[in-house]
Chain A
Amino acid sequence: MSTDLDAMYQEIILDHYKNPLHKGLRDPFQAEVHHVNPTCGDEVTLRVQVADGLVSDVSYDSVGCSISQASASVMADLLIGKPVEEAMAVHESFLALMQGRGSVEPDEDVLEDGIAFAGVAKFPARVKCALLSWMAWKDATAQALEEKP
Chain B
Amino acid sequence: MAATLEGLLPELEVIRKDFPILARTVAGGLPLVYLDSANTSQKPQVVIDTMVDHLERHNANVARAMHQLGAESSEAFESARDRVAAFIKAPSRDEVVFTKNASEALNLVANTLAWARGPLAVGEGDEVVITEMEHHSNIVPWQLLTERTGATLRWFGLTEDGHLDTSNIVDLITERTKVVSLTWVSNMLGTVNPVAEIARRAHEVGAIVVVDASQAVPQIPVDVVASGADVLVFTGHKVVGPTGIGVLWGRRELLEQLPPFLGGGEMIETVTMQRSTYAGIPHRFEAGTPPIVEAVGLGAAVDYLDHIGMENIHRHEQAITGYALDGLATVPGLTVLGPLQATQRGGAISFELDGVHPHDVAQVLDARGVAVRAGHHCAKPAHQRYGVQSSTRASSYLYTTPAEIDALVEALEYTRSYFKVG
A149 to B359: give the CA distance in the assembly, Å.
40
Which residues, 49 to 89 on A, are CB-close (under 8 Å) to B? Answer: 63-67, 69
Q: Does A136 reach chain B (CB closer than 8 Å)?
A: no
Contact B390 A1, beta carbon cutoff 8 Å: no
Which residues, 20 to 54 on A, are CB-close (under 8 Å) to B? Answer: 39-43
Given contacts A1-B367, A4-B367, contact A66 B360 (CB under 8 A): yes
Which residues, 321 to 377 on B, are CB-close (under 8 Å) to A? Answer: 357-360, 363-364, 367-368, 374-376
Contact B360 A40, beta carbon cutoff 8 Å: no
Residues of A within 8 A of B27 (CB): 1, 4
Residues of B within 8 A of A14 (CB): 419
Given contacts A1-B30, A9-B418, A63-B389, contact A40 B367 (CB under 8 A): no
Q: Does B118 reach chain A (CB closer than 8 Å)?
A: no
Contact B368 A1, beta carbon cutoff 8 Å: yes
Given contacts A1-B28, A1-B367, A65-B357, contact A39 B418 (CB under 8 A): no
Contact A5 B363, beta carbon cutoff 8 Å: yes
Contact A41 B367, beta carbon cutoff 8 Å: no
Q: Does A8 reach chain B (CB closer than 8 Å)?
A: yes
Q: Does B383 reach chain A (CB closer than 8 Å)?
A: yes
Which residues, 380 to 406 on B, are CB-close (under 8 Å) to A? Answer: 380, 383, 389-390
Partner of A67, one of B28, B359, B389: B359
**Minimum CB–CB distance for A125 against chain B, Å:** 8
Q: Does A16 reach chain B (CB closer than 8 Å)?
A: no
Inter-chain contact count A-B, CB under 8 Å? 52
Given contacts A1-B368, A9-B418, contact A40 B376 (CB under 8 A): yes
Given contacts A8-B363, A67-B359, A126-B363, contact A41 B30 (CB under 8 A): no
**Minimum CB–CB distance for B27 against chain A, Å:** 7
Partner of B375, one of A2, A41, A63: A41
Contact A5 B367, beta carbon cutoff 8 Å: yes
A43 to B364: give the CA distance in the assembly, Å.
22
Name the residue on B nearest A8 (C-beta).
B363
A64 to B360: give the CA distance in the assembly, Å.
10
Name the residue on A nearest B356 (C-beta).
A66
Contact A2 B367, beta carbon cutoff 8 Å: yes
Contact B368 A39, beta carbon cutoff 8 Å: no
Residues of B within 8 A of A67 (CB): 359-360
Residues of B within 8 A of A43 (CB): 389
Residues of A within 8 A of B419 (CB): 14, 66
Residues of A within 8 A of B418 (CB): 5, 9
Contact A129 B359, beta carbon cutoff 8 Å: yes
A53 to B376: give the CA distance in the assembly, Å.
40
Name the residue on A nearest B27 (C-beta).
A1
Residues of A within 8 A of B383 (CB): 41
Residues of A within 8 A of B390 (CB): 40-42
Contact B360 A41, beta carbon cutoff 8 Å: no
Which residues, 8 to 35 on B, are CB-close (under 8 Å) to A? Answer: 27-28, 30
Name the residue on B nearest A5 (C-beta).
B367
The proximity string for A residues 107-142 relative to B, scoring 1 for CB distances below 8 Å and 0 otherwise, is 000000000000000010010010000000000000
**Minimum CB–CB distance for A68 against chain B, Å:** 8
A38 to B174: give the CA distance in the assembly, Å.
35
Interface residue ranges, A against B (CB under 8 Å): 1-2, 4-5, 8-9, 14, 39-43, 63-67, 69, 123, 126, 129
Closest 6 CB pairs of A and B: A1-B28, A65-B359, A65-B357, A40-B375, A41-B376, A5-B367
Sample (9) of A-B pairs whose CB atoms are under 8 Å apart: A1-B28, A5-B364, A9-B418, A41-B390, A66-B357, A66-B419, A67-B360, A123-B363, A129-B359
